[in-house]
Structure 1
Amino acid sequence: MRVFLIVWFGQLVSLIGSGLTNFALGVWVYQRTGSVTQFSLILLFGLLPSIVVSPIAGAIVDRWNRRWCMILSDSGAGITTVAIALLLAIGNLQIWHIYLAVSLSSVCKAFQLPAYTASTSLLVPKEDLPRASGMVQSAQACAQLISPLLAGVLLGIVQLKGIILIDFATFLFALTTLLLVRFPDAKTAAVPVNGKASLWRSALEGWTYIAVRPGLLALLIVFAINNFVFGLIEVLFPPLVLSFTSVTVLGTIQSLGGAGMLLGGVVMSIWGGPRILIRGVFGFVFLSQLCILAFGLRTSAALFALANFLFFFCLPFVNGYFNTILLRKVAPEIQGRVFATLQMIAFSCIPLAYVVAGPLADRIFEPLMATNGLLAGSIGQIIGVGTGRGIGLLFITMEILAILVTVAAYRYPRLRLMESELPDVI
């Protein structure tokens, strides 16, 4: 655990630094363009390259030393940060420079995440894997909670240049922690003699490994659907809250979400989890779905604050238990490919949600719930009518469908009994 704790702390510091830069660059773009579309493109460029590159990244992670994969990917992200700082210093920073830098950082992330996750099973005893996963989730929650608050303060003191320099310092710290430790040797995938085609075949092995195990495939489908709904929330939650309250209240509600995620990660790190982890996954998935359902029922700031806190409280348990199951059931020599494939499929639903969220809300659901809308006299009598109520109905509709899929998936024996049917590899 000592080596894991050193690596974990370095990655925590780096996550906070990256969060500072991401927040500050978003503000910089929006202040100079006033365009929500150009602002949202940062989210898109920060996600899509990682999705596209993930299969190849996973295959390479399984062939290379995982510590060096993390070192090189952190270095690549650090170089892009330096490039942004130099362009800003000479007064030549353009919007497209930021899109390019965010895209390159996303490619580095495609290598870093599978290498980091797959390394956990090398560093941590089997019985401590749930706690280690909880610590990883806590680090992400901590960055989500601290970075926006700290960046808002630092922007007024050291401005964008200073924040980028701080981010670079956090990259150096993370690199130092990785250089100071050694990972246990793990069996790596054999490198075939043929060139590119062999690498592609190796990348596809991650999908094959999942596809021939129906329990893992069913769990992946559940996660993909829930990620799609999460993408809708990410886009539509601010407009929904602002339809009945102020920006200050919105910020408070979102901060409570970060606090809930941090508390969930801490609780999981201390507790570990139930004996049968798949029950924990579905229990917390179901609770998170009820929280989203609550967003659509009433325009109450107190209800939104409580539901958002509980929703983010559930996320570390869902993601942590899911990762723990995989670390126990997937052979170490193929973990990079499996995690990369899961990342590609599950995350690919989020950009789709970004694309369809606006049209679904503006052209279909909001007109239905307008004062004189088609559903104003029926559903409108229950959840209300007017601005934002269409988004509320969209949340309710999507969550009812997601809950039905989740219940049906849990009734599937191969998924429900996956932990006993698939042997542990550790």
Structure 2
Amino acid sequence: MLQYSWKRTFSIIWIGQFLSLVSTSAVNFAIIIWLSLETGSAEVLAYSAIAALLPQAVIGPFAGVYIDRWDRKKVMIFADAFVAFCTLVMAISFYLGNESLLLIYVLLSLRSVGSAFHMPAMQAAIPMLAPENQLLRIAGINQMIQSVSSIAGPALGALAIGLFRIGDVLWLDIIGAIIAISSLLFVHIPDPKKDNVQKSSFHQVWTDIGIGWNEIMSRKGLAWLFTYSVIATFCIMPLAVIFPLLTLNHFGGGKWEMSVIEIVWGVGMVIGGGILGIFKPSVPKVILVNSMHIILGIALALSGYISANMFYLFVGLTAVGGVAASIYNAAFTTILQEEISADKLGRVFSMYFSIVVIPSIVGLLFTGFIADSIGINLTFMILGLSIVLVGLFSFFTPALMKIGQKK
């Protein structure tokens, strides 16, 4: 009976999240196209990425404290509602004829605030809904859902931005949020037992943040896992931002080629999620994490190395990168869900998102300068090879390799 119960709950959540993710992906891609075609500037794309990441990084640790204290279902509902309201305000502003970059930055920042609560709450709720031996499979299915949305989203976004104004396209995000909220109303998400629950004073909030930090740093394996992830993300983030410019400037593409690259990346992620969701590999998860760093780094480095007339090879490398990213994300998430107690997961996930994002923002500040100084292609090669080194060093870190071993 419990088997059918948790599967039914996940099915309802997945349907709502899928439709919401498709609409969000469409809006995000439409904004990227709009910025790329309007400005063609690596700096503008970098600043938009910073606007989308900085609020989440700053408030993330504080959000995690309250996620572990509050009803996680309500946190997700209110986070979605907040994002929808902010998007509605921005859409109205665009209707009034104000389509400035500043408004785009504000929109991305406000959406980031909602994500700071929604994403960790969702990840922290999963272990409360499913058996531990199913977590990797669920992570794989989650990756598939995100991947399919990243296929349909760019296609829908490219179509929408071609037919409608940017203000009209924002309505897709509002509709998606309504669907996600509606699906959550039909499920029950239990909360873990909370030990030593105290009033949320300023001192207690900092104490709880310290608990989340200690959960990471007190275990050498997890500390190394976080460290390598921070370094890899520091390299990946600038490349993710200038990906559209590689398609536009180096390969001479346009809207169609940008859509193809986004869709192929999503196809790769579907394949990666499918491998985990269907076959449930017996390979230790830490080996999956390290190996995917190496594969992703090679794919990115080669993307910068190949000549401009090899667009189809670029498409293939993008698909390989999508597979690697999907498997990495699922394996990394499952390691945390298995290693950290459920009542502290909200704080740990929020702490992780902040730890990994803040250094990336520093890298993004120099994205425009680096891309203009040494070229987009060389930037891809240098940072891609750096990610390969992260994967190689990970295999030679004993504490990291011991993660998941039975004591």
Q: Same fold (TM over 0.5)?
A: yes
Please give the residue correspondences for 1:23-422 in structure 2 after superposition, counting only pairs within 5 Å: 23-28=29-34, 37-91=43-97, 94-193=100-199, 195-242=201-248, 244-248=250-254, 249=257, 251-299=259-307, 300-363=310-373, 365-366=374-375, 391-392=377-378, 394-420=379-405
Distance 2:247 2:93 in 1: 37
Task: Please tell me whether the aligned partners of residues 293 and 396 of structure 1 are also in contact (alpha carbons under 8 angstroms).
Answer: yes
Change (3 A) 1:217 1:194: same
Q: Report the more deviating stretch, 56-65 or 33-42.
A: 33-42
Q: Using the TM superposition, give the Cα deviation of residue 28 of structure 1 relative to its aligned residue in structure 2, in angstroms.
A: 5.0
Change (3 A) 1:28 1:314: closer
The one-letter code of the counterpart of 2:350 is: A
Task: Please tell me whether the aligned partners of residues 90 and 107 of structure 2 are also in contact (alpha carbons under 8 angstroms).
Answer: yes
Task: Please tell me whether the aligned partners of residues 86 and 110 of structure 2 are also in contact (alpha carbons under 8 angstroms).
Answer: yes
Distance 2:93 2:181 in 1: 24
User: Structure 1 vs Structure 2: percent identity of aligned residues?
Assistant: 27
Distance 2:354 2:200 in 1: 25
Q: Using the TM superposition, give the Cα deviation of residue 262 of structure 1 relative to its aligned residue in structure 2, in angstroms.
A: 2.1
Q: Report the more deviating stretch, 151-160 or 329-338.
A: 151-160
Change (3 A) 1:78 1:348: same
Task: State yes or no: 1:14 paired with 2:14.
Answer: no
Distance 2:44 2:367 in 1: 16
Unmatched runs of 5 consecutive residues or more in structure 1? 367-387
Task: Please tell me whether the aligned partners of residues 293 and 390 of structure 2 are also in contact (alpha carbons under 8 angstroms).
Answer: no
Task: Please tell me whether the aligned partners of residues 234 and 359 of structure 2 are also in contact (alpha carbons under 8 angstroms).
Answer: yes
Task: Please tell me whether the aligned partners of residues 18 and 167 of structure 1 are also in contact (alpha carbons under 8 angstroms).
Answer: yes
In terms of Rg, which structure is larger? 1
Q: Using the TM superposition, give the Cα deviation of residue 49 of structure 1 relative to its aligned residue in structure 2, in angstroms.
A: 0.5
Q: Report the more deviating stretch, 410-419 or 115-124.
A: 410-419
Task: Please tell me whether the aligned partners of residues 24 and 172 of structure 2 are also in contact (alpha carbons under 8 angstroms).
Answer: no
Change (3 A) 1:321 1:5: same
Any idea what SS the aligned residue of 1:247 has? coil
Distance 2:371 2:107 in 1: 31
Provide Cα deviations, 1:321-353, integer angstroms capped at 9, x if missing partner.
111111111100000011111111122233222
Unmatched runs of 5 consecutive residues or more in structure 2? 1-6
- Number of paired residues? 397
Distance 1:295 1:46 in 2: 25
The one-letter code of the counterpart of 2:388 is: I
Distance 1:243 1:94 in 2: 24
The one-letter code of the counterpart of 1:418 is: I
Give the TM-score normalised by structure 1: 0.85
Task: Please tell me whether the aligned partners of residues 64 and 120 of structure 2 are also in contact (alpha carbons under 8 angstroms).
Answer: yes
Q: Using the TM superposition, give the Cα deviation of residue 312 of structure 1 relative to its aligned residue in structure 2, in angstroms.
A: 0.9
Distance 1:398 1:33 in 2: 24
Any idea what SS the aligned residue of 1:63 has? coil
Q: Report the more deviating stretch, 124-133 or 150-159.
A: 150-159
* RMSD over equivalenced CA pairs, Å: 2.4
Give the TM-score normalised by structure 2: 0.89
Change (3 A) 1:180 1:293: same
Task: Please tell me whether the aligned partners of residues 70 and 115 of structure 1 are also in contact (alpha carbons under 8 angstroms).
Answer: yes
Change (3 A) 1:12 1:302: same
Provide Cα deviations, 1:138-174, integer angstroms capped at 9, x if missing partner.
2222222222211222234454444333322221111
The one-letter code of the counterpart of 1:285 is: H
Q: Using the TM superposition, give the Cα deviation of residue 242 of structure 1 relative to its aligned residue in structure 2, in angstroms.
A: 4.5
Q: Using the TM superposition, give the Cα deviation of residue 177 of structure 1 relative to its aligned residue in structure 2, in angstroms.
A: 0.8
Provide Cα deviations, 1:268-290, integer angstroms capped at 9, x if missing partner.
22122225221222222222222
The one-letter code of the counterpart of 1:307 is: L
Q: Using the TM superposition, give the Cα deviation of residue 316 of structure 1 relative to its aligned residue in structure 2, in angstroms.
A: 1.1
Q: Using the TM superposition, give the Cα deviation of residue 50 of structure 1 relative to its aligned residue in structure 2, in angstroms.
A: 0.5
Task: Please tell me whether the aligned partners of residues 46 and 365 of structure 2 are also in contact (alpha carbons under 8 angstroms).
Answer: no
Q: Report the more deviating stretch, 6-15 or 58-67.
A: 6-15
